[in-house]
Amino acid sequence: MAITAFVAASLIAHALCFYIFQIVYPPTIALLPPPARVSLISPTSEEGRTQLQWIDAEDPALAFATQRPAEAWLRALPNVRHIPSYLATEPALKEAPPLLVDLRTPSSQPPAAVPIAHPQVPPATSARATTLSFSTELNSLGAPNLPTPSFAASNNEPPDNIRFRVAVGARGDVRYCFRLNASGDPALDEQARQYLMLCRFPGRPTSGESDRSLIWGIATIEWGNDVARPQATSTMEPAGAERHGRQRESIDERGASQSTTGTQ
């Protein structure tokens, strides 16, 4: 009896739980894709007008296209007939070779005077002296007294024009001389510096300036063809003299031996 009551109570409890805690599944809903939409940019709205103005301003095709003005009419090209170039300028024709060709061997001694080729003498180069010029800062000092130029190069390469920054004192002497560039020959650079240090200016105005102040300027030396070049020494002369001496010794020995044989 107790078991029957327990089973009945258990069934009632399970049925009550199934009723209270039942699962309700939502109905299945199929989501359809959104329909296609087409947006038109029209000038009827403020946003559309702004978008159209931006497209007109940023259109790259307008920058690379030739825009004719509204009042210009399209002009058609004239119908021009093609004219070949050989009708305007007649080409020069080459002469045809002769029909009969002389196949004889030319004579080694033709009956004519032997042409003498005279060597062409190269034209004499005009003498160009070395010049010295100063910048406009030193024009107020007058024309300088320059020493006699005597420059000697240490190589045969043409030197470049050289510039110095000089400072002239109150007595017209060059106090400082700084080289700004090189001529390519250190010996010429030093000779040019010594040449500038020997330059003397007639004087300088002292009004408004102190006697101890210096006037700075630029001195430029343009080299001419009066620069002495080193003479090329030949290394073949001593060898030739030595060979000539040996030949004379051998000739003397032959003469001595022949005279001894004749005496015997």
- Backbone φ and ψ for 107, nearest 5 degrees, come out as -75, 145
Asked if residue 141 lies in contact with residue 201, where contact means CB atoms within 8 angstroms, the answer is yes
Max Cα separation, the chain? 183
* Strands annotated E in the chain: 131-134, 162-168, 174-179, 215-222
Per-residue pLDDT of the chain (264 residues; tens, 9 = 90+): 788 888 888 889 888 888 787 776 777 777 788 888 888 888 888 888 888 888 887 776 665 666 666 665 556 566 667 777 777 777 788 888 888 888 888 777 777 777 787 787 777 667 788 888 999 888 888 888 888 888 888 888 888 899 999 999 888 888 899 999 988 889 999 999 999 999 998 866 555 444 458 889 999 999 888 888 887 654 444 444 455 555 555 555 555 454 444 444
Say if residue 43 is exposed, middle or buried (CB neighbours under 10 Å; 0-12, 13-18, 19+). Answer: exposed
pTM of the model: 0.42
Asked if residue 183 lies in contact with residue 162, where contact means CB atoms within 8 angstroms, the answer is yes
- Residues whose CB is less than 8 angstroms from the CB of residue 154 and which lie 6 or more positions away in sequence, other chains included: 185, 186, 187, 188, 230
User: What residues does each domain of the chain span?
Assistant: 131-222
